[in-house]
């Protein structure tokens, strides 16, 4: 694959990101202009296509996308120099780099944020069929989803992410904020995000009911 990212290539990525964003917005997970999604275009040097900042995520167009580098900064020479990435693109890039992810979704979904209030040291999931959706075992497996404090400093957040990184757990909860989930591609990242939301919602509700 060539070094240069063409306008057509970026538009394809932008169309996929827009479609995924609309699905998440429909679930109420990207309210206002919150959240952002990314997909890797190149691995060396790392280049990600990220949803543009400040847009209604239910109404994104294929052109509402920007190319960022390994630090989450917009690259100077790209097909959409008019678009700006969110500061959160820095954490997308860190996750893509450390986890080798092909796609990262960041959504402000409620259940994981509530669970982080209850379990600030990490949210433990076990004995649930839906764990298979995270690539883990439904039995005899304990999945701890890391929780990090919120910050506007993406380098600090990235360092905390790396501190608790487990290659077998493709999710990170940012307290009082939202969740990052990743996978080989956008579809796998979405499936994992959907399964994580179910797992965390069940665990919270079961805990509140006194069952676990």
**Residues flagged as binding site for Zn(2+):** 106, 108
Q: In whole angstroms, what is the distance from residue 119 CA to residue 116 CA?
A: 5
User: Considering the complex, what minimum distance in angstroms separates the CB of residue 180 from Zn ion?
Assistant: 9
Window of 55-63, 115-123, 173-181, 203-211 that interacts with Zn ion by CB under 5 A: 173-181
- Which amino acids are annotated as binding site, given as ranges? 106, 108
C-beta separation of 101 from 170 below 8 A:
yes
Minimum distance from CB of 204 to Zn ion (Å)? Answer: 20
Burial 47-77 (b: 16+ CB within 10 A, else e): bbbbbbbebebeebeebbbbbbbbebebeee
Spatial distance between the Cα atoms of 66 and 61, rounded to a whole number of angstroms: 12
Give the number of other Cβ atoms within 10 Å of residue 205's Cβ.
12
Give residues 177-196 in contact with Zn ion (rule: CB under 5 A). Answer: 178
In the bound complex, which residue of the shown chain has the CB atom lying closest to Zn ion? 178
Strands 171-174, 147-148: pairing is parallel
Span near Zn ion by CB under 5 A; candidates 24-32, 176-184, 188-196, 203-211: 176-184
Instruction: Decide whether 93 or 131 has the Cβ nearer to Zn ion.
Output: 93
Q: Which is nearer to Zn ion, 5 or 96 (CB)?
A: 96
CA distances from 122 to 56, 58, 63, 74, 144 (A): 31, 31, 37, 32, 6
- Point out which span in 112-120, 163-171, 172-180, 192-200 binds Zn ion (CB under 5 A): 172-180
CB 97 within 8 A of CB 89: no
Residue with smaller CB distance to Zn ion, 79 or 178:
178
Least distance in angstroms from the C-beta of 38 to Zn ion: 13
Report CA torsion sign: 200, 101, 63, 173: positive
Instruction: Tell me how far, at minimum, the Cβ of 178 lies from Zn ion, in Å.
Output: 5
Closest CB to Zn ion among residues 133, 178: 178
CB of 34 to Zn ion, least distance (A): 6
Question: Which residues of this protein are in contact with Zn ion, per CB under 5 A?
Answer: 178
């Amino acid at each position: 694959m060539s070094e240069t990212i063409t306008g057509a290539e970026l538009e394809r990525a932008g169309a996929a990101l827009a479609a995924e964003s609309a699905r998440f917005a429909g679930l109420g997970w990207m309210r206002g202009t919150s959240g952002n999604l990314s997909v890797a275009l190149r691995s060396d040097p790392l280049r990600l296509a990220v949803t543009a900042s400040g847009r209604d995520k239910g109404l994104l167009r294929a052109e509402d996308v920007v190319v960022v580098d390994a630090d989450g900064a917009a690259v100077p020479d790209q097909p959409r120099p008019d678009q700006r990435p969110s500061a959160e693109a820095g954490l997308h890039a860190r996750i893509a780099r450390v986890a080798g992810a092909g796609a990262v979704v960041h959504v402000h979904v409620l259940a994981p944020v509530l669970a982080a209030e209850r379990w600030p040291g990490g949210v433990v999931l076990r004995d649930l069929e839906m764990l298979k959706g995270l690539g883990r075992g439904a039995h005899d497996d304990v999945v701890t989803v890391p929780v990090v404090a919120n910050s506007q400093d993406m380098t600090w957040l990235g360092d905390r992410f790396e501190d608790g990184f487990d290659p077998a757990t493709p999710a990170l909860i940012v307290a009082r904020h939202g969740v990052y989930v990743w996978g080989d591609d956008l579809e796998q990242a979405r499936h994992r995000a959907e399964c994580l939301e179910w797992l965390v919602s069940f665990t919270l509700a079961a805990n509140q009911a006194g069952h676990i």
